[in-house]
Amino acid sequence: MKELLHQHISNHVTIPEKERDRFCNLFKHQLVKRKSFLLQEGETCKFEGFVIKGLFRVYHIDQNGFENILYFAIENWWITDIDSFTNNTPSQLYIEALEDSEVLLISKKDKEFAYINLPQIEKLFRIMTQKTHVALQRRMIDNLSKTADQRYLDFIKKYPQLLQRLTNLQIAAYLGISHEFLSKIRKKIVTGS
């Protein structure tokens, strides 16, 4: 069950097997049924999660009741509300399973323990944080400078493994457009006009 996490760690840092196993043993396994929440708005996020099976969406509902998806998380991806987790504040986000899923969860206390006692783990999370910042920066630039058509084409190119697992409504919420507008984009791509 933790083999995917072992591999993920090894892809980013070199760490002795004993230390890697010690870190992995800090995680708790949790099954999450489809349409169940790991986190809801107003709760304080007490975990960082590593997805070993399934699909999650991390989203916010704005004052007009519109769902805005920040990101999806599939196998080998991390999920959390980093603001709530870091600052111990109520979350503004929802983390919902879109499929029956399995995650490994680590608490803030156990993560801090790992930082102090397993120096390579702090390096691992530094590397992952940098990659997350890069991805967020690119997404912000794309949202500011690209058309919805371009963003959709980029999405299907970058995340082909998600297309069959998501509804058009979910993809539209991620792209920040209406479901109807996404249908027009898809029709235009198919017909070439």
Q: What is the pLDDT of residue 193?
A: 61
What pLDDT shows up at residue 93? 98
Q: Which residues contact 126 (CB under 8 A, 6 or more apart)?
A: none
Residue 151, pLDDT > 80, answer: yes
Locate tokens 């970058």: which residue? 158
Q: Record the tokens describing residue 110, joined without a space.
A: 């156990």
Task: Return the CATH fold of 3-109.
Answer: Jelly Rolls (2.60.120)
The percentage of the chain sitting over the pLDDT mark of 90, rounded to a whole number, equals: 85
Task: Give tens-digit pLDDT for 152-189.
Answer: 999 999 999 898 899 999 999 999 998 899 999 988 88
Please check whether residue 94 is in contact with residue 59, taking contact to mean a CB–CB distance below 8 angstroms: yes
